[in-house]
Structure 1
Amino acid sequence: MTAIRAEFPLLETCVYLNSNSTGAVPRAAQAVLTDYWQTLRTWRDDVWQGWHEGLDRYADGLAAFIGAPPGSVVTDANLSTLLARIASCFDYRAPRNRIVTTDREFPTIPFVWRAASRYGAHLDEVGDGGPRIDQDALEERIDERTLLVCVPHASFSSGATVDLARLVKHAHDAGALVVVDAFQSVGIMPLDVTALGVDFVLGGSHKWMCGVGTAFLYVRPDLAPTLRPAATGWQAGDRALTFQPSTGFAPGAQRFAGGTPYPLTSLISQIGLDLLAGVGIDAIRKHSLACTDRILARAGAAGIPVVSPVEPHRRGGVVCLDVPDGEAVKRRLAARDMICSWRGYLRIGPHIYNTLDEVDRFMDALEDECR
């Protein structure tokens, strides 16, 4: 733990329990930034060969991290861009034109699917506005009219999780494809996309993955050849790097690429990925549960209402607390160098680089503010 903590300078300045919003970045990122500036300062076009190798290394490293084969992951600037490319693959002809999702998703998800309504998509959001994900109600809405099921592995607003194995089977039995938003789970929870048989997985680097400004998309390898994104770019073509006109799409997930990539964020994010892969996701999950167990115990003893599920198998890496005037409390905690976030509830997200002592110091400060 000491060696891991030493890699993150941010931890020297505060108690940082905000990885569910923005994760700490390893100090080795500074060397990448310096090297990038030297490259710009002495520019030669040949640098693109090394950059493309770096982009491929990061994408295939992410694939290995989530149990996927090489070539099944592509990266881009953000999840919205990649989700829009998924959406552009379908024609939404009735009767199979429904997109089933939950009201616990991050706002970008329903926003993108509503935009597809002009092509015939019908969005069906399931939920009662509460913090939990009612998987029974979700699955009841999946039928022969359902084209896609789009769910968070873990909700950004409450930490509630979905039983993906059960959901994927149910959706596939109904003839629907499954899109998983794993932004709030990848890096803190185990995720084996091959074992699950999931069709699409979206995630990103700047939360639990200790990176910056990069999102990723996994596409099930046997599904990819059947998909032709309408929202596309030259790097998705089968002859892109020859600089000749492409005659078709690239194989695998690369067909979901866009235009000229921006390599810096992947080069930086590689450092965090390597650190997490070195620790192992099972050890990360065990430590995360120990930290969130401590938050739950402290909150219960202090009489602070818990919004997140308390069962270990039902919660992700964040614990959400219903604190009166929570946004102001969050600001006062920040003034004491106790960092968390607020999205309707106070969100506390410890990671592998945090300690139980830090959790206790944070909860001491929170109890003091709640008084």
Structure 2
Amino acid sequence: MNSNSTGAVPQGAQDVLTRYWDTLCTWRDDVWLGWHEGLDRYVASLEAFVGAPPGSIVTDANLSTLLTRIASCFDYRAPRNRVLTTHLEFPTVPFIWNAFRRYGAVVDVVGSGGPRFDEDALADRIDERTLLVCVPHASFSSGATLDLPRLVARAHEAGALVVVDAYQSIGVVPFDVTALGVDFVLGGAHKWLCGIGTAFLYARPDLLPDLEPAATGWQAGDRALSFQPSTGWADGAQRFAGGTPFPLTALVSQVGLDLLAGIGIDTIRAHSLACTDRILARADAAGIRVVSQVEPDRRGGVVGLDVPDGEAVKRRLAARNLICSWRGYLRIGPHVYNTLDEIDEFMDALEEELQENRR
């Protein structure tokens, strides 16, 4: 029940690992031809999965690396030098933006005093000084989701660009980058996408010609694979690439992405809602406080529960091979491979642990 932290990796990944090991045993330079084809296929599969045009996604090791490349594209001189984010972001995001204070960035963190977004406060803080609005689609701690269409419309009205951290939603919630009109989207494989160790960046295609990241690497150049000095930037989102890629994580992650694409995001979403409905019903019957949004159209894949001594409860559940996570709230994240019977087994155990706590 922990796909919001680390999703299950399909058994088919073992074949990829075996082939990779065989390749390392008989190393030749030409293996890179196949590896680059694998990297390109993974990018194309991601683009299809999130409704992105060809050439608008690039991959790298993690979200931090890619967000830093976005940040390095901009001039932070006043008056338009404000970066707006929220206290419900994963800590890496404000940490990176705070590092850009040395270049003039003014970081504005909007709090709500609770586990849900204060969407009115976010919208009200956007003005002519706002350069970037950097927000999660779903909170890592509580699973609360954000009304992206409203925020994107308000940001664009003020001339600001929107960076969305969708690590906690893509793979379990339908997400179409083109329909949403977002400017940048960040996500990754090792949670809901059932992969390992790779992240991705979508950049709106019409923005790309004007974006020149200062944090870069040789794979971002227009002549990278010719091994000649580049004279300009690579086409499309490839200009956000870094140095020599590590192909294994994309090759392994392809297996999970193919499985999810074959099931279909609408089917995944319907099953996710059924699972979280069951958690919500069981929590209500047991008197457990829910901190996530419960409305189906505003609910991510996670249910956050406020329970006494939650971190210890999480450890005791893990000892029973019932896996969730703790980030200030007990986070339960079932995915398409979980069953309603497993939900009941988990909630039965949780109720037992809470009753034991009361004794």
TM over 0.5: yes
| Per-residue deviation, 1:128 | 3.0
Aligned to 1:285: 269
1:234 pairs with one of 218, 237, 247: 218
- Of the three residues 205, 226, 231, the one matched with 2:189 is 205
Q: 2:166 is matched with which residue: 182, 186, 206?
A: 182
Tell me which amino acid in the other structure corresponds to 1:356: L
2:145 is aligned, of 154, 158, 161, to 161
Shift of 1:46: 0.1
Q: Partners of 1:306 and 1:111 in 2: how far apart?
A: 29
1:84 aligns with 2:100: no
* 2:317 aligned residue: 333
> Is 1:36–2:29 an aligned residue pair?
no
Secondary structure at 1:339 match in 2: coil
- Where in structure 2 are the equivalents of 1:338-349 lying within 5 Å? 338-349=322-333
Q: Does 1:59 align with 2:59?
A: no
Supply the AA of the counterpart residue of 1:271. Answer: V
Distance 2:116 2:50 in 1: 25
Q: Secondary structure at the match of 1:54?
A: helix
From 263, 281, 286, give the equivalent of 1:297.
281
Report matched runs for 1:202-281 at 5 Å.
202-281=186-265
Deviations 1:193-238 (A, max 9, x none): 0111110000000000000000000000111111000000000000
Name the SS for the 1:309 alignment partner: coil
1:266-286 deviation line (CA, Å, top 9, x unaligned): 000000000000011111111
- Residue identity in the other structure for 1:55: L
Q: Equivalences for 1:61-210 in 2 at 5 Å?
A: 61-210=45-194
Tell me by how many angstroms 1:91 deviates: 1.2
Secondary structure of 1:157 counterpart: coil
AA aligned opposite 2:186: L
The separation in 2 between residues aligned to 1:248 and 1:180, in whole angstroms, is 28
Q: Distance in 2 between matches of 1:360 and 1:143?
A: 47
Aligned to 1:357: 341
Q: C-alpha separation between the residues in 2 aligned to 1:127 and 1:115?
A: 20
Separation of aligned partners in 1, 2:192 and 2:306: 23
| 4+ residue runs over 3 A deviation | none
TM superposition shift of 1:294: 0.5
Alignment identity in percent?
80
Does the CA contact (< 8 Å) of 1:103 and 1:129 recur in 2? no
Aligned partners of 1:60 and 1:69 also within 8 Å: no
Listed one character per residue, the Cα deviations across residues 100-147 of structure 1 (whole Å, up to 9, x for unaligned) are 111100000000000000000000000133100011110000000000
What is the CA–CA distance in structure 2 between the aligned matches of 1:65 and 1:207, rounded to whole Å? 15
- Of residues 359-368 and 121-130 in structure 1, the stretch that sits farther from structure 2 once superposed is 121-130
- The structural deviation recorded for 1:70 is 1.3
Query: 1:56, 1:229 → 2: CA distance?
Result: 21
Letter in 2 for 1:155: S
Partner amino acid, structure 1, of 2:244: T
Q: Whole-Å Cα distance in 2 between the matches of residues 332 and 228 of structure 1?
A: 49
Structure 1 Cα separation of the partners of residues 185 and 235 of structure 2: 18
CA contact (8 A) 1:205 1:269 kept: yes
Gaps of at least 5 residues in structure 1 are 1-16
For 1:332 and 1:58, the matched residues in 2 are separated by: 38
TM-score by length of 2: 0.98
What CA distance in whole angstroms lies between the structure 1 residues aligned with 2:40 and 2:181? 23
RMSD: 0.6
Unpaired stretches in structure 2, ≥5 consecutive residues? none
Give the deviation of 1:85 after TM superposition.
0.2
How far the C-alpha of 1:42 sits from its partner, in A, is 0.4
In the TM superposition, residue 49 of structure 1 has moved relative to its aligned partner by: 0.6
CA distance in 1, matches of 2:338, 2:318: 17
Give SS of 1:261's match: coil
What secondary structure does 1:32 align onto? helix
1:366 matches 2:355: no
State whether structure 2 residue 15 is matched by structure 1 residue 25. Answer: no
Partner Cα distance (1:28, 1:78) in 2: 23
